[in-house]
Amino acid sequence: MSSTKDPCISICKFTDDICVGCGRSKREIKAWKKLDKVDKRSVLAEAALRLIKLGVTGRRKSK
């Protein structure tokens, strides 16, 4: 499999099925270990955009 690090930061609170900690959906969280490196990178990119849309910092570095 892949060695891409799990983005979980142990907040695990959901808004509209999206974790405000990591930005992933519940489905993506469940599937994470089975995803290949390319799919994981895709999920991470989408998650970052979701966190921006939700207006939360989550795993992004605050400025």
Per-residue pLDDT of 14-55, as tens digits, reads 999 999 999 999 999 999 999 999 999 999 999 999 999 988
CA separation for the pair 13, 53 (Å, rounded): 16
* Confidence at 60, pLDDT banded by 50, 70, 90: low
Q: What residue segments make up the domains of the chain, in order of their start?
A: 14-54
CA end-to-end span of the chain: 34
- Phi/psi at 18 (nearest 5 deg)? -115, 130
pTM score, whole prediction: 0.82
Cβ atoms of 12 and 19 within 8 Å: the answer is: yes
